Amino acid sequence: MIRHHAAEVEDTFAEAFTMWGARIVITAETPVWAGHAARSLTGFATSVIGCKCEAGIERELEAAETPDGRPGVSALLFAPDRDGLAKRLVERVGQTVLTCPTTACFNGLAAEDEVDVGGQLRYFGDGWQASKVLAGRRYWRIPVMEGEFLVEERFGIVEGVGGGNLIVMADDAATALHLTEAAAEAMAPVEGAILPFPGGIARSGSKVGSRYPALMASTNHVLCPTLRAQVDDSEVPDGIDSVLEIVIDGLGADPVREAMRRGLDAAARSGACRITAGNYGGSLGEHHFHLRELVP
Amino acid sequence: MTLTLTLRAAPEAPVLAEALCPDLLAGLTKPEIERLELWHGNRRAALGELFAVSGDGAQDVRVVGDLGRVAGLGAGMAGGRLTLAGGAGPHAGAGMRGGELVVEGDAGDWAGAEMRGGRLVVRGSAGRRLGGAYAGSRAGMRGGEILVHGDAGGEAGAGLRRGLIAVAGRVGEAAGLSAPAGTIVALGALGPHPGAGMRRASIVAMAAAPLLPTYARACTYRPPFVRLCLRRLRALGLPVTDDQIAGRYTRWSGDGLELGRGEILTLEGPE
């Protein structure tokens, strides 16, 4: 156990997996509409277990930062494989950005690997779509009732990291929430990383498998305080009555590591707690983030 | 390093200088460059007879002198940078595929004709058929960018299939003549009959244009692509204003005598 401020940090590691990631830049006439589209795009994308992808808002963009000079939002979207990511991008951009008034959608990642997004969505134009090539990039203009939706044809994708995590334990639920809120706030500015769960925090960490064969995941009973007296293998320490988790996905290992470092530090500075991380013994995930290396 | 070719004297007859491309000069020694043959009127002349050669480094070539009678400068070039310090005769950058050709003065007719890629910048004005198709060709410019800081002559972008032509000044008559696709941006006045026979191309005009009756008004809106395109042109040094970038444009669809999928977008005044 490592001591950091008021926290006890367990000498363990977070086990994360390779996931393919993309950065989507959404612009609109106002930040409000860019935000509406971005929240829809990244909605219902907390975990690949049930959502097929994980997504989150990376940050808001000033007008000067976007391709068309309008206010925008950048979002990151992750899926377990390349083809899956391509499908999710087409589905989500098509259903949430194309539909949203005043928006346009651009690739935000210069990468060797690319997938076709605008080139698929163009068919919504029913033959009235038109393409334009500018500085070597192709854009599709799709006529819509409001005017025109502009979307870049190809989006860069990279092999990223999904499932970096911190688990924060506290003596009551309010404290656990307060500590993880502080951690999530400290992690949010890290470029290239997102926290896909609501508010960045998950209360329902899962384990692989279930007693019910149809389910691929179920509640992580060993970390449920309410089951401490019922299960033989409870891992909830004495004095701990609430456990919350922060999951981090990133476009690479470095942003995940940096987000975990900031989150761990913020939680430890915010009050007494115990900080650990989830893993599967190291045999499943390609990326291991050791907490001892994150403590200053 | 820059390879500089200085015209010794104004040529008595037109010179065809298609050999003067950075990629064709790459790897040649100074004597080899001087021995390159150019057409001077109806005879072959050594480059060294017409131009004094100095410096080296074929990726950056500068041609100096009154080049108004020198045709085909940079034609077919595929890379590097070629600067013409004294204007250019006809066919400058015709068929070019890559690299950057900068004409510091005026360019003659057919500048960038049927070009496939790269960038042609004309600091002065350009003649007729800028980026156009040669007689008998199915298409004119098929890729790349042409930026003209002055005016452009008639039939700019004739047969345009792909790519971007932007003119800071006035554009002559029949811009985009029979163009299958691509984009023409006229920051100055647009001459008569724009988009005649146009199939799918776009013409963006900053002033009310005298349109053919075969164009029909669609709507007035803010085309997102125009914002993107104008911001790029501004980044490349053309005088694009904020009002033009953020402005509302009326979309005119045509040419009704052809496919009718083309558009002329004309900037409206402030709301």
- Residue among A134, A149, A150 whose CB faces B232 most closely: A134
Find, in chain A, the residue whose alpha carbon is nearest to that of B202. A132
| B39: three-class secondary structure by DSSP | strand
Alpha carbons A174 and A155: distance in angstroms, whole number? 41
Residue A145 sits in the same domain as residue A183: no
* Residues A61 and A136 grouped into a single domain: yes
Looking at the complex, does the CB of residue A134 fall below 8 Å from at least one CB of chain B?
A: yes
Nearest C-alpha neighbor of B245 from the set B270, B260, B228, B257:
B228
Q: Are the beta carbons of B231 and A133 separated by less than 8 Å?
A: no
**Whether residues A30 and A8 fall in one domain:** no
pLDDT per residue, tens digit, chain B (271 aa), is 899 999 999 999 999 998 889 988 988 999 999 999 999 999 999 999 999 999 987 789 999 999 999 999 999 999 999 999 989 999 999 999 999 999 999 999 999 999 999 999 999 999 999 999 999 998 999 999 999 999 999 999 999 999 999 999 999 999 999 999 999 999 999 999 999 999 999 999 999 888 999 999 999 999 999 999 999 999 999 999 999 999 999 999 999 999 999 999 999 976 5
- Mark whether A95 and A211 lie in a shared domain: no
pTM for this prediction: 0.94
Domain CATH number, residue A248: 3.30.70.520
Q: In total, how many domains does chain A have?
A: 2
Do residue A68 and residue B232 have CB atoms under 8 angstroms apart? no
A24 with A11, same domain: the answer is no
3-class DSSP state of B206? coil
Question: How does DSSP assign B232-264, residue by residue?
Answer: HHHHTT----HHHHH--EEEEEE-TTTT--EEE
**Residue-number span of the structural domain to which A205 is assigned:** 2-15+162-293
Q: Which residue segments constitute the domains of chain B, with CATH numbers given?
A: 1-71 (no CATH), 76-267 (2.160.20.60)
Structure tokens at A174: 């309010």
Q: Does B259 touch chain A (CB under 8 A)?
A: no
Q: Which of A142, A158, A174 is the last residue of a domain?
A: A158
Answer with the one of A126, A158, A190 that is the final residue of a domain: A158
- Please check whether residues A115 and A45 belong to one and the same domain: yes
B160/A contact by beta carbon, under 8 A = no
Same-domain check for residues A134 and A169:
no
Indicate if A56 and A141 belong to the same structural domain.
yes
Closest B-chain CA to A143: B223
Residues A134 and A176 in one domain: no
The Cβ of residue A178 has, within 10 Å, a number of other Cβ atoms equal to 17
Q: Which of A72, A116, A114, A62 is nearest to A97 (CA)?
A: A72
ipTM: 0.94
Smallest Cβ distance to B227: which of A69, A130, A149? A69
